[in-house]
Amino acid sequence: MSSEKVLSSASASASASAPLASPHVDVCKGINGLDKVVLRDPRGSSAEVYLYGAHVTSWKNDHGEELLFVSSKAIFKPPKAIRGGIPICFPQFSNLGSLEQHGFARNRLWTIDTDPPPFSTTSSSKTFVDLILKPSEEDMKIWAHSFEFRLRVALGPGGDLLLTSRIRNTSVDGKPFSFTFAYHTYFSVSDISEVRVEGLETLDYLDNLQNRERFTEQGDAITFESEVDKIYLSTPTKIAILDHEKKRTFVLRKDGLPDAVVWNPWDKKAKAMVDFGDEEYKHMLCVEAAAVEKPITLKAGEEWKGRQELSAVPSSYCSGQLDPQKVLHGS
């Protein structure tokens, strides 16, 4: 697929969805010649999405600061998934099923959707790209279900990053299917020991380090001093990730995704991963909008929608302490 051909598709996609807009959307070659879409907001923020995996690998604010973590050892070469950014876990999260880890959507080549169905959205974003994935014959052999997975990646006017997934059961024989899902977002942080997560306290979670045994979170905030791999259940629609050193707060808003996964591999697991630097665990944290505990079931013709919106704001201070309540509750 030539970059020229993709570029015309990107333009067609954008103009078909927003005929009055002139989106700042380019398609070019990325690492190892893989096609990527670059979104640029006039105010300076940007995002990059590889067609391989529909994988967001960069999100920068209007100062050009990178907000997502991608490993310096990430392997941009199929069939390996890209380490970092926002991998999409579908139709299976983790090893909760018979498929490969986190399913196959993250290591398939997606195409630009030049004629997406009408898109109801509250965002006024004019900078976006629509991507689509349909199962190949090989996919049908390992997961025998017909589907259309449409993903819109958009930059909001304030530099927010919006991902909206629409998954439709296109079965002609009336077969339903079930799936689990996650936006496996890797946030870039200054120092994991200076980070806290607000919005998940007192909730039940499944601990992946203890055979998914169920516990209840204790304490006022989640901080990090060792490996963590937890699936929080029935979570709020808004979660805050506070980076004390950078005086920055990430706000994750989600819809249609009741769970939230929190993961950091820490030192031993970091050293065991070939596509992850030994010390890089200090500079990343995964907080993932997900649907894991209760799989989503679609009957033939039904569609599911799951949305994630990320924003980065200066942290509020109160007596020298981060004040997440202003972020979480708008007070």
Instruction: Provide the 8-state DSSP code for 267.
Output: H
Query: Per this entry, what is the length of the chain?
Result: 331
Rounded to whole angstroms, the Cα distance separating 126 from 117 reads 16
pTM given for the model: 0.89
pLDDT confidence tier of residue 124, bands split at 50, 70 and 90: low
Number of domains in the chain: 1
Does the active-site annotation cover 184?
yes
pLDDT confidence tier of residue 77, bands split at 50, 70 and 90: very high
pLDDT confidence tier of residue 179, bands split at 50, 70 and 90: very high
Examine the pLDDT at 277 and tell me if it is beyond 80: yes
Residue 106 known to bind ligand: yes
Whether 9 and 114 have beta carbons less than 8 Å apart is answered as yes
**Helix/strand/coil for 42:** coil
**From 280, 288, 293, 309, the catalytic residue:** 288
pLDDT digits (tens, 9 = 90+) for 252-266: 999 999 999 999 999
Contacts by residues 132-141 (CB-CB < 8 Å, ≥ 24 positions apart): 133/54, 133/105, 133/108, 136/108, 139/104, 139/108
Whether 25 and 131 have beta carbons less than 8 Å apart is answered as no
| Region 234-259 average pLDDT | 97
**Helix/strand/coil for 8:** helix
**From 184, 198, 244, 293, the catalytic residue:** 184
Does the active-site annotation cover 24?
no
Q: Where are the alpha helices (DSSP H) in the chain?
A: 3-17, 137-142, 266-272, 324-329
Residue 88 sits in which domain range?
3-329
Residue 196 known to bind ligand: no
Whether 3 and 29 have beta carbons less than 8 Å apart is answered as yes
Residue 330 pLDDT: 53
Residue 218 known to bind ligand: no
**Helix/strand/coil for 218:** coil
Task: Report the CATH number that the domain containing residue 65 is assigned in CATH.
Answer: 2.70.98.10
Residue 325 pLDDT: 55
Closest to 280 (Cα-Cα) out of 267, 292, 291: 267
